[in-house]
Structure 1
């Protein structure tokens, strides 16, 4: 079953530098169908959906340690096998010396028109990952960015704002 976020919902979480959940709000727990005790200390990948291209996470993990924020569309899998899409903004939290101490993510309801573009792209990327690996899937994404003459964030933000 596909779960849909409410327009006013914000899913908030923080992870440590290894991607383990150190904070999650009630909306996160409700959407993911996990209790706080089932989430805290667990890898954020506990909600990773098999239809989510690994190449997108590669892009994310290459970006946020450099103290750059990133936006992404993500499909998640709940504890009970349901799915839900989010429009995510992920940033690094810094200490007083500018050192990355953890990662902060706020997710909201994605624009359906954006998903109409993202879903077939992600399907293509996942299919390529299965046959040719993450590098080939990553190339599909970077080729689209070159073709459109935009950065990853510019593409994602423009899809959300259409």
Structure 2
């Protein structure tokens, strides 16, 4: 399927604010379940994605370190929230706020991963102000939980997606930088 990968089209697609994209993977990140919204938004059929790596929808401009952080957090048995730019089969992109949680068996072993995504179209994203973006997502009608906006920003600073002063809250002496692109390939693809 990697050879079939389209280049980004530069067009954004959205989905209804009351819809959720749901997917599940095995511990290696291979898709085991996708809902109809996943299929509609991504443009793939169920037979095209089942058993394939979740990275089939990864937009090439998403820093790989975000996914390393995601998989390291899941491997520790913890949930994580992330802003993700996905790419549909035709090259269109779609921004989501993802809640990623490990699934455990009776013995406490991770047997899979569940991902629930809400639409955060470009109108909700302010790349120069990640804390404002986070607050807009928290106001989303399908708010998944109450989050600490600064904690997520600090994790992105740690993996090099944002400059160090981006994590400084307004009024505390720091300015916010534009997100910087991570150019290293960590080889982690959910």
Give the TM-score of the pair, scaled to structure 1.
Answer: 0.73
How far residue 67 of structure 1 moved from its aligned partner, in angstroms, is 1.1
Conserved? CA contact 1:10–1:107, under 8 Å: yes
Counterparts of 1:145-160 in structure 2, within 5 Å, are 147-148=168-169
Structure 2 unpaired stretches of 5+: 1-10, 131-156, 170-190
Q: Does 1:67 align with 2:77?
A: yes
Q: Within 1, Cα distance between the matches of 2:103 and 2:20?
A: 18
The alignment's C-alpha RMSD in Å is 2.4
**Aligned residue in 2 for 1:31:** 41
Structure 1 unpaired stretches of 5+: 121-135, 149-162
Q: Within 2, Cα distance between the matches of 1:119 and 1:80?
A: 29
Structure having the larger proportion of residues in helix: 1
Structure showing greater radius of gyration is 2
Q: Does 1:18 align with 2:28?
A: yes
The 1:30–1:113 alpha-carbon spacing in structure 2 relative to 1, beyond 3 Å, is closer
Q: Within 1, Cα distance between the matches of 2:165 and 2:26?
A: 32
The 1:93–1:51 alpha-carbon spacing in structure 2 relative to 1, beyond 3 Å, is same
Equivalent pairs counted in the alignment come to 133
Give the TM-score of the pair, scaled to structure 2.
Answer: 0.63
How far residue 98 of structure 1 moved from its aligned partner, in angstroms, is 1.0
